[in-house]
Structure 1
Amino acid sequence: MRAFRMVSKSVATSSDIQNKNGMKAFLMLGGSIALLLLMAFSVTQGAKPIPFSMIWEAIFNLDRNNMSHIVIVDLRIPRVLASALVGAAFAVSGAVMQGITRNPMADSGLLGLNAGAGLALSVCIAFFPQIGYNNVIIFSFIGATIAYLMVNGIAMYRRSAATPMRIVLAGAAVGALFTALSQGIALYNKVSQNIMFWMAGGVAGSTWKQVTLMSPWICLALISAIVLSRYISLLNLGDDVAKGLGLNTKLINLLCSLTVLVLAGTSVSAVGAVGFVGLVVPHVTRFLVGVDYRAIIPASAVLGAILMVSADLGARMLNPPFETPIGVLTALIGIPFFLYLARRQRRAV
């Protein structure tokens, strides 16, 4: 009887693994197809609906005298591509942060990285208006790094108290400080309209130049996250276990942190303070594919892109011809989810 139970348990475990592997394959293939279809549909929607057939015509037989072709190629396609890129970036940055810190509430917005990048962006707009977009990305990266160091420094001031909730509170404090500084700079230098557009979050002003410049940064960081995913799974088991398996935890933490900073800084420089994507998507992905970060990270990229493209589509369709800020829509999803996680974390303490 005991042997029978052991065999049954082994068969059940094997069945669970097969189910998870099937879900991984379905999520990646089905999610990628759904993303492409959603992006195509999003291009057709706006103040003036455009038939799907015209997208194909505009791409392969562009007529600059046709206003619909110009709208498709110069406005809507870069906007949709920007949405997908930053959605993948925010989601993967959240997944990596949650993995290396073992903090279920880790997110670039909640931990102040978005606000740090935003402060750097405010400085660029106010004092260096002619600076190139590549330099804006670098400034945003520096701002996110400063915020990251400040949050960890505050949270680790008393090592025994560096709980997930304390880290989030430190992130909230640093985020509030940097947001206030951004607003002060905007008001003093009379560029508040530009800063408020960033704080609301959105991809309405995305151009081919922005997409071209931010794509290498985001793509390289996403590749880096995928390469590091195996080690993130080990780190998620705990530093002692990872060290016991021969992992250089300090080096992996450093590489992962740099990856997160590049993803967050580049995304914020492009679309502004869009929060909660990196909080919600990794949890949904983990529920679907399990705890292996070799599956979580690429799946999070796909689901994050789907979420942002959907949010941008909703921003255009909710109250036409006016647009609702994307940050508002993601907050409507993310805030209840954050409260749920905070409640569960409190019970676990």
Structure 2
Amino acid sequence: MNKVKRIRISLPVLILGLSPIIIAFTMIGSILYGAKDIGWSTVLDAFFQFDSGNVDHQIVMYSRLPRVIGALLIGAFLAISGAIMQGMTRNYLASPSIMGVSDGSVFAITFCMIFIPNASPLDMIVYSLVGSAVAVGIVLGFMSLLPNGMSPVRMAIIGTIIGTFLSSISAAMASYFQVSQNISFWYNARLHQIDPNLIKLAIPFALVGIGLALLISKSITVLSLGHEVSVSLGQKNVFVKVVAIISVVILTGISVALAGNIGFVGLIIPHITRFLVGFDYRLIISCAGVIGAIFLALSDILSRFLNHPFETPIGVVTALIGVPFFLYLIRKRGGMKYAS
């Protein structure tokens, strides 16, 4: 028993300690391989002797480097958001994609592109955050009104319905105002079109969202034990939930603003992380961010080879992994909240 406990304690340290090395190799692989393979010497030249007239250098610096950085950031943001949502609601099916949060962001961006066509990248981020907040409010509102609305399967159904509704309205608006081609980026989550300037603008928002998540990580652990237990320990649950929702809104909103709607990362990664490190959300949030970043970056590399030389949308790759995982959870644990 003591041996098992020592392994569990050391595993988070191992994950966080090895993560820089794994991320570095993932970045190298993402930069080297794609529709066009680029040699290692060319990559080094692009970094240290950049030639604006060299097409390979442009691909490295303006496409593949922002792409892998974006994938790492978005994977981390969505995984942390999913971990917070699952801990806050004690619902193993909660995630930004299942709960309609991502669809709310896409809806807001569609609205922005139609009625504010000259909006700046910062405006897009702000509108995406607002859309996330509205979607969370609608889903939580319906859950509070319906009997047993907080049960895992019912919560997933409500979130899926609201998300589908918002997505359908977005598609209808885009078609009616003839901006479907412009908005397709946010539906298909094409990382290769990510805007490097948008990444820079998103960093301050991300720091706030991650900072809030780490700030309440201990409180999320207490909250995941159950409402009665957390109240008996003197925790202010309303405050914790408000801060948690703000963190989820920020991280999900900037993820959608960066690369569109990417599903299942926030569902899969928190489960894997809990299995590896236990139920302490101080460890779950940190490790989920790292694992989510690596997962999405590797999925992006895989998407380039499924139909080579054509690229498969990253959402297809995450869905191929996420849908069976989702069905497995419903089959094995349908109607049950996870026990801490």
TM-score (norm 1): 0.93
| Aligned-partner Cα distance in 1 for 2:75–2:241 | 23
Tell me, in whole angstroms, the C-alpha distance in 2 between the residues paired with 1:69 and 1:243: 57
Q: Contact between 1:202 and 1:312, CA under 8 Å: does it hold in 2?
A: no
Distance 1:275 1:200 in 2: 11
Question: What secondary structure does 1:317 align onto?
Answer: coil
Q: 2:209 aligns with which of 208, 218, 221?
A: 221
Which amino acid counterpart does residue 108 of structure 2 have in structure 1? A
Task: Pick which of 197-206 and 118-127 moved more.
Answer: 197-206
Question: Could you tell me which residue of structure 2 aligns to residue 245 of structure 1?
Answer: 233
Aligned residues of 1:118 and 1:182 also touching (Cα < 8 A): yes
Given that 1:104 and 1:164 are in contact with CA atoms closer than 8 Å, whether structure 2 keeps it comes out as yes
Q: Where does residue 125 of structure 1 map in the other structure?
A: 113
- Letter of the structure 2 residue corresponding to residue 206 of structure 1: I
- More deviation in 335-344 or 60-69? 60-69
Point out where structure 1 has 5 or more consecutive residues left out of the alignment. Answer: 1-11
Name which one, 1 or 2, has greater alpha-carbon Rg: 1
Q: Of the candidates 278, 282, 287, which is equivalent to residue 299 of structure 1?
A: 287
CA contact (8 A) 2:86 2:92 kept: yes
Return the alpha-carbon distance in structure 2 between the equivalents of residues 212 and 40 of structure 1.
Answer: 21
In structure 1, the residue matched to 2:138 is: 150
| Aligned position for 1:113 | 101
For the pair 1:30 / 2:7, whether they are aligned, the reply is no
- 1:211 is matched with which residue: 199, 205, 208? 199
1:78 Cα deviation (Å)? 0.6
- Two-structure CA RMSD over aligned residues (Å): 1.5
CA contact (8 A) 1:32 1:302 kept: no
Counterpart of 2:99 in 1: which secondary structure? coil
2:86 matches 1:90: no
CA distance in 2, matches of 1:26, 1:111: 32
Contact 2:76 2:290 in 1 (8 A): yes
Q: What is the letter of the counterpart of residue 190 of structure 2? A: G
Deviation (angstroms), 1:159:
4.7
Q: Distance in 2 between matches of 1:136 and 1:197?
A: 13
Question: After superposition, what is the alpha-carbon deviation per residue over 1:214-257, rounded to whole angstroms, capped at 9, x for unaligned?
Answer: 12212321222122211111111112212222211111110011
Q: TM-score, normalised by structure 2?
A: 0.95
- Other-structure match for 1:310: 298
Q: CA offsets, 1:164-218, max 9 Å, x none?
A: 1111111011011101100111111101112233212221111221111112212
SS at match of 1:156: helix
Look up the equivalent residue of 2:288 and give its one-letter code: S
Compare 54-63 and 109-118 and name the one that shifted more: 54-63
Report the Cα offset of residue 60 of structure 1. 2.4
* Pairing of 1:1-349 with structure 2 (within 5 A): 12=1, 14-346=2-334, 348=336
1:160 and 1:63 map into 2 onto residues whose CA distance is: 61
**Identical aligned residues as a percent:** 36
Question: 1:84 touches 1:308 (CA, 8 Å); kept in 2?
Answer: yes
Contact conserved, 1:94 with 1:108, CA < 8 A, in 2?
yes
Residue 32 of structure 1: how far off its partner (Å): 2.7
In 2: Cα distance, 1:111 partner to 1:150 partner: 10
